[in-house]
Amino acid sequence: MNNSLKATLKKAFRYFFQGVIVIAPIAVTLYFVFWLFESIDNLLPNLFGSLFPGRINDDSHIPGVGFLLITLIMIFIGWASSSFVFGQFIDFLGSLLGKTPGIKLIYSSVKDFLKAFSGNEKKFDRPVLVNVDGADVWRIGFITQNDASQFDMLDHVVVYVPISYAISGITYIVPRDKTKLMKDHIPSTDAMKFVISGGVTEL
């Protein structure tokens, strides 16, 4: 193989991987958006189809209508939940689910996880550097509890450390002096992206 052909192939491979780097994030993002849209859009038709077999057919389904209805229902529930009567009903239902064996594990876990990202009880809003591996090795995490009093460890804090390129993470209970609060100008969302991306994203 002559040098000219080698150079051409090397350049072609370089352009190929450059193309992958450019298109992959766009393709994955669009795929996820379309998948989410289609899943939500088909939620009501699938539900009605299960409850009333034969009443719903594919020809009568208009793309986007299910998504719009689910969005309006969520807005209505959010608005109604602020009223006393509906709020009491939601609290009763939540209390019932939270006390039902087996179900309470799923309900409480999902509820606490979602509340950790939004509302007045956000947990992932204090990014820190945490020393858990070695004297000079630090991880980026988020303080989720100011103390570990439930474990009789008042001088410790609870830190959640995300794992790069995954939706999982590890929870550590560490001495308070093993953590360093990150600078105020670094938003928690940027700190999370930095960890998830394996440190590639700039802070």
Q: If you count them, how many residues does the chain have?
A: 203
Token digits of residue 43: 């939620």
Is there a contact between 44 and 52 (Cβ–Cβ < 8 Å)? no
Give the model confidence (pLDDT) of 174-200 as tens digits.
999 899 888 877 888 888 888 888 887
- pLDDT category at 116 given cuts 50, 70, 90 is low
Specify the higher pLDDT residue, 172 or 105.
Answer: 172
Ranges of each domain in the chain: 122-196
The pLDDT tens digits for 37-88 are: 888 877 777 666 666 666 555 555 677 777 888 888 888 877 777 777 777 8
Rounded (10°) angle between helices 65-80 and 43-51: 90
Full-model pTM: 0.58
pLDDT tens across 137-152, in order? 999 999 888 888 888 8
Per-residue pLDDT averaged across 122-144, rounded? 86
Q: What is the mean pLDDT of the chain?
A: 80
What letter would DSSP give residue 194? H
